[in-house]
Chain A
């Protein structure tokens, strides 16, 4: 246990702070004034796409978890917008780096990092959720192309995306895990229809995507035909790190504390209600635990189980923070959309509902528990049932 920063890291932290101070005029209220220019500036200085090689449009630094964390903390402290962290940057780019062809890396990684190409993820289907490998969207060979038919669901940003990284079945005669390919699809290809999927929040954070005879070159397959399941698991590994991020949870707890210190009922601050305060302290202990767990995951090579629990515990904790905020607000907590009494734009209710989606998405809580029990604790898998 040594939590002090070396002089080198202290100097690095000062450098990041000085950068943010020098460029203060280029962002406002946590948003860049020119998103693409800001992203380019961050990449040039190593504060975005930090470990992606220069040849592919990144900054080309050696991976260093502490520097990554120092950057994240300095940006939060300064209220500065961090680099783009969409699915293209967080999931596709690292996957291409690991298994993409040279041509794919050169063509896609740079524009993705710079925010010039926006991606969506085509994984889940109406009949393939937790059992993702049961997916049925077909890609049939036709000359140099695949012709794709089927549908995807839970596709966030599909309506904005230029491209999709998508799982399709190319070898239907093979066992389900071996017949899947990972393919890159331009969203303007004829035959693609995107329909917004309205959820309980009232918004449409996701879409359904329908494919009717969509023609894509076979050269768009990543990692080899029939190897899509392996490639997809590379990507999912990156997604689980993204969901349940303890920095975001800490910021939410701070907002909850602020709410409970400033809101009053009968002239008494919410924080002065012993029952509410006790719940707040319980959550604070959990937030601190996850924060230190996060530090441990970054720097302790023996922290295998500690890594596996992050998605399950982090998403649940966010949900509970929103729940306490709503309970503390009482009847004001159920106001939504608009009105003079609405607090924080209805954000707590929105979070409460949206976070339930995150508990389910990216591997449900129950799938996470299977992973923890089987990979972390060595318990046996459920026996396979006969497929009908």
Chain B
């Protein structure tokens, strides 16, 4: 046994990079999927609408922990391949992000008045041009506060990756706690770091909301 020192804090701070890696991966792959799902949900094809809505509902009804377990233990079983923890954990958070951002953006797109799309179509714009220039910019503005809010959720939820042994911030805290027998101090430290990451985003989300409401 050893005491809790500054080096434990530094180890935790170093582990933040893996938390950040998960967030970046989840956004990089999840956001395009989310956009696709949001477009499918609001599109003209009934089949695409049903499919996308089904996916959103299914994933939203499953806890992130369940997704993690499924990809971590399930991928080797179902696909017969052993993948690195980063891949399976990253896949789980990608799906999580796709579903929740997809739902937020669907709401944003539907909040733009139908007449805006009609007006664009009546000027001879294609459906893609209408989405790209008329619908998307307005939907993005509407959905931005909720999107930033989701980012906070995502950062905190990556702590669940610790249950499959992925060493990110929460897991680093567990290790420090086990090595020093100072759980309170270790986890307080972890909590403080999460707070330091999330609080500025929360503030930003709030200010975006105020700006949006003020603009109306």
Q: Verify that A and B bind, or say they do not.
A: no
Chain B residues at the A interface, C-beta cutoff of 8 Å: none
